[in-house]
Structure 1
Amino acid sequence: MITRLTVLYDAGCGLCRTARAWLASRAQLVPLEFVAAGSDEARRRYPSLDPAQTLADITVVADDGGVYTGDSAWIICLWALDGYRGLAARLAAPDLRPTARRVVAAAAALRRAGRDGQDQRTGPGLTQGYGSDCGGTCDL
């Protein structure tokens, strides 16, 4: 049984930081802890994970030893949130899996738009693509 998830995210990516803030601001059924991917802390905790891979795409480590990357990582993040388990279950269907990261990116961009007045239709992650401001290290 999973009781805690650690999200390794690219702290150098504006959209990753915004997605992290959005996830952290939601009520959580399973606590999410955030650690910068590639950091000394991440390397100490997870020496078997390739830091370059964790910077290329979100990686989530469960306290039961499970490691989730890419679409699976986004889905488990949604699954951890109160009110999002049904959506996570729907997005787990094979044809909808790639949509999970877009849902989080869009929610994060909308939150950012509300905070800084940016037009939500052209906010990061909507027209530019996930992580377009991170120097190309993100995988979408």
Structure 2
Amino acid sequence: MSGDVDPAGFGAGRVGFLTVLYDEGCPICRTAHRWLASRAQLVPLHFVPAGSAEARGRFPGLDHAATLRDLTVIADNGLVYVSDGAWLACLWALADYRGMAERLSTPSLLPAARRFIAAAAAVRQSTRADDYGDQCDDRCR
């Protein structure tokens, strides 16, 4: 990947900024937000709470319940990245991690990256209360 293509490498053109929809009710998501925001960015990251009125207004075509389950990143050119693609897009935007994102997105390392991201999601799932159910709209407690 170079600076002239999108994070997933589909050649959609230069990305000016990425909007990161994150679950502000999740301690892991809040920590990731703070960490990402504190790093030097080659592509600016804008953070918006998933499921919020702002997210719904800016991205009316998204499934906002799904954005509370999986990290979602929207490029300014309209491309949407979810789950492992979203995490790799975030890393790709960072000055010190772009090379890592490029390596992790290769066919030989992508399966390991997906397992790592799935493990992080499992930890997130384990932070939820026992009474977690449909009525809580998939927000961490």
Percent of aligned pairs sharing the same letter: 56
1:7 to 6, 9, 20: 20
Alignment of 1:48 with 2:42, yes or no, is no
Counterparts in 2 of 1:21-40, with a 5 A limit?
Answer: 21-40=34-53
- Alignment match of 1:133 (pick from 100, 115, 127): 127
Q: Give the C-alpha shift of residue 130 in structure 1.
A: 3.3
SS of the aligned residue for 2:124 comes to: coil
Q: TM-score, normalised on structure 1?
A: 0.74
Query: Take 2:115 and 2:18, find their aligned partners in 1: how far apart are those partners?
Result: 17
CA distance in 1, matches of 2:109, 2:62: 27
RMSD: 2.5
Tell me which structure has the larger Cα radius of gyration.
Answer: 2
Deviation at 1:92, TM superposition (A): 0.6
Q: How many residues align?
A: 117
The separation in 1 between residues aligned to 2:123 and 2:40, in whole angstroms, is: 26
* Change in 2 beyond 3 A, CA 1:101/1:37: farther
TM-score (norm 2): 0.73
Cα displacement (A) at 1:95: 4.8
* Alignment-derived partner of residue 87 in structure 1: 100
Could you tell me how far apart the structure 1 residues matched to 2:54 and 2:115 are? 25
Letter in 1 for 2:79: G
Is the Cα–Cα contact under 8 Å of residues 32 and 80 in structure 1 kept in the other structure?
yes
Take 2:115 and 2:89, find their aligned partners in 1: how far apart are those partners?
11
